[in-house]
Structure 1
Amino acid sequence: MNKPYLIEFPKLGSPDIGYISVAENSSLIPFDIKRVFWTYYTPESIVRGRHAHYKTEQVLVAVTGRIIVTTEMPDGEIHTFILDNPHVGVYIPPSVWHTMQYSHTAIQMVLASQPYNEEDYIRDHADFRKQWNK
């Protein structure tokens, strides 16, 4: 089973003109992108996510601000990633429970391997644990 990991996108430019990062035809993203969405204005006291997916793979990027991403593998292994640079993302494979906590200014962009499908979500942590601890 794949584990979550950081992806560093190219950072092109310089401090005097600014930067651009690209994920175009990228071998950095281990799936074809079928959906892109973003979250913003999330209060710092709110923890979002709190789910896993059966099929969907995702790459999360903090376009601005800071996002703390916590992942839990089916075997209970936990990883914490701090996203605070717009050219770094974290890959979230299927079957990985994940939560996100945002700084007030955070904007998160998500690249997903599947269109939205409610049936792909595991929203109850106890169900997540049962799914792989049979």
Structure 2
Amino acid sequence: MHYVDLNNIQLIDIPKITAPDGRGNLSVVEKDLLPYKIKRVYYLYDVPSDSTRGGHAHKQLQQFLIAVAGSFSVVLDNGKERKTFHLNRPNKGLLIPSGVWRELENFSAGAVCLSLVSEEYDEDDYIREYKDFKSIERR
């Protein structure tokens, strides 16, 4: 598995169109925003504020997370260091490359986490035990 420098992971602006007459905003995720074709979309909601989600890494799958409502934190871990991102705007997203452990926490009331991923579901792509994740050699 490759080494991922967490300093290279940043929030990505999603284009926002504001209606000139005050009717609100529209954000668009199109083909050039992400470095992959979206093969699966899912969303998390009604997550209790004291719960965590994620708690795994992927061997191949890349993931783009958006807080379409409310807020939550994403803790990323590359096996050597951890970095936390707070998502709270529907026109910002977090691109998580493969080979990074992720945990989602601190969900606000009404939070909705939209996930746009590069692969269809494949259980073999998951690393579900942190000790296994830590033991993988990174180049």
- Please indicate the TM-score interval, normalised by the length of the shorter structure: over 0.9
What pairs with 1:1-134 in structure 2 (closer than 5 Å)?
Answer: 1-2=3-4, 3=6, 4-14=9-19, 16-25=22-31, 27-74=32-79, 76-101=80-105, 102-132=107-137
Distance (Å, rounded) in 2 between the aligned partners of 1:132 and 1:7? 29
Could you tell me which amino acid in structure 2 is paired with residue 86 of structure 1?
A: P
Structure 1, unaligned runs of 5 or more: none
How far is 1:24 from its partner? 1.8
Distance (Å, rounded) in 1 between the aligned partners of 2:137 and 2:16? 38
Ranges of 4+ aligned residues in structure 1 off by more than 6 Å: none
How many residue pairs were aligned? 132
Aligned alpha-carbon RMSD (Å): 1.7
- Sequence identity of aligned pairs in percent? 37
Q: TM-score, normalised by structure 2?
A: 0.89
Q: Which deviates more, 105-114 or 124-133?
A: 124-133
Could you tell me which amino acid in structure 2 is paired with residue 79 of structure 1?
A: K
TM-superposition CA deviations, 1:24-63 (whole Å, max 9, x none)? 22x2211111000001000001011000000000000000
Distance (Å, rounded) in 1 between the aligned partners of 2:25 and 2:137? 42
Q: TM-score, normalised by structure 1?
A: 0.92
The answer as to whether partners of 1:51 and 1:97 remain within 8 angstroms in 2 is: yes
Could you tell me which amino acid in structure 2 is paired with residue 10 of structure 1?
A: P
